[in-house]
Amino acid sequence: MLKTRALEKFLDQANTSGVNGIMLFNREGLTVARSGSRSINGSVYAALMSNIWETFERQVFEVYIDL
Protein backbone atom coordinates (compact mmCIF):
# COMPACT_ATOMS: atom_id res chain seq x y z
CA MET A 1 0.00 0.00 0.00
CA LEU A 2 1.27 3.46 -0.83
CA LYS A 3 1.76 6.02 1.90
CA THR A 4 -0.11 8.92 0.35
CA ARG A 5 1.17 11.58 2.76
CA ALA A 6 4.79 10.60 2.08
CA LEU A 7 4.09 10.51 -1.65
CA GLU A 8 2.49 13.96 -1.55
CA LYS A 9 5.52 15.34 0.29
CA PHE A 10 7.74 13.84 -2.39
CA LEU A 11 5.60 15.35 -5.16
CA ASP A 12 5.77 18.75 -3.44
CA GLN A 13 9.46 18.85 -4.34
CA ALA A 14 8.55 19.02 -8.04
CA ASN A 15 6.30 22.07 -7.55
CA THR A 16 8.93 24.59 -8.60
CA SER A 17 9.70 26.74 -11.64
CA GLY A 18 6.12 27.38 -12.64
CA VAL A 19 4.72 23.92 -11.81
CA ASN A 20 1.56 24.60 -9.81
CA GLY A 21 0.37 21.09 -9.14
CA ILE A 22 0.83 17.40 -9.79
CA MET A 23 -1.79 14.68 -9.86
CA LEU A 24 -1.00 10.98 -9.83
CA PHE A 25 -3.76 8.56 -10.71
CA ASN A 26 -4.11 4.83 -11.36
CA ARG A 27 -5.38 2.99 -14.44
CA GLU A 28 -8.98 3.22 -13.24
CA GLY A 29 -8.77 7.00 -13.02
CA LEU A 30 -8.73 7.21 -9.25
CA THR A 31 -6.51 9.84 -7.68
CA VAL A 32 -3.60 8.25 -5.83
CA ALA A 33 -1.94 11.48 -4.72
CA ARG A 34 -1.91 15.16 -5.54
CA SER A 35 0.35 18.02 -4.71
CA GLY A 36 -0.02 21.72 -5.22
CA SER A 37 -1.99 24.67 -4.05
CA ARG A 38 -4.37 23.59 -1.31
CA SER A 39 -6.41 26.73 -1.88
CA ILE A 40 -7.94 25.21 -5.02
CA ASN A 41 -11.37 23.73 -4.48
CA GLY A 42 -11.68 19.94 -4.76
CA SER A 43 -14.21 20.35 -7.56
CA VAL A 44 -11.50 21.99 -9.68
CA TYR A 45 -9.31 18.91 -9.27
CA ALA A 46 -12.28 16.69 -10.09
CA ALA A 47 -13.02 18.63 -13.28
CA LEU A 48 -9.39 18.45 -14.37
CA MET A 49 -9.20 14.74 -13.66
CA SER A 50 -12.41 14.07 -15.55
CA ASN A 51 -11.14 15.95 -18.60
CA ILE A 52 -7.76 14.19 -18.53
CA TRP A 53 -9.38 10.77 -18.17
CA GLU A 54 -11.90 11.41 -20.96
CA THR A 55 -9.08 12.47 -23.30
CA PHE A 56 -7.08 9.37 -22.39
CA GLU A 57 -10.02 7.03 -23.03
CA ARG A 58 -10.77 8.73 -26.35
CA GLN A 59 -7.16 8.28 -27.50
CA VAL A 60 -7.13 4.60 -26.51
CA PHE A 61 -10.43 4.03 -28.32
CA GLU A 62 -9.11 5.67 -31.51
CA VAL A 63 -6.00 3.47 -31.42
CA TYR A 64 -8.12 0.31 -31.26
CA ILE A 65 -10.33 1.49 -34.12
CA ASP A 66 -7.27 2.04 -36.32
CA LEU A 67 -6.06 -1.53 -35.72
Per residue, the 3-state secondary structure of 1-67, as one string, reads CCCHHHHHHHHHCCCCCCCCEEEEECCCCCEEEEEECCCCCHHHHHHHHHHHHHHHHHHHHHHHHHC
Segment 13-54, tens digit of pLDDT: 888 777 777 888 777 777 788 787 666 677 777 788 788 888
Which residues contact residue 2 at a Cβ distance below 8 angstroms, ignoring those fewer than 6 apart? 32, 33
Closest CA to 22 of 30, 5, 33: 33
pLDDT at 43: 77
User: Would you list the domain boundaries of the chain?
Assistant: 4-66
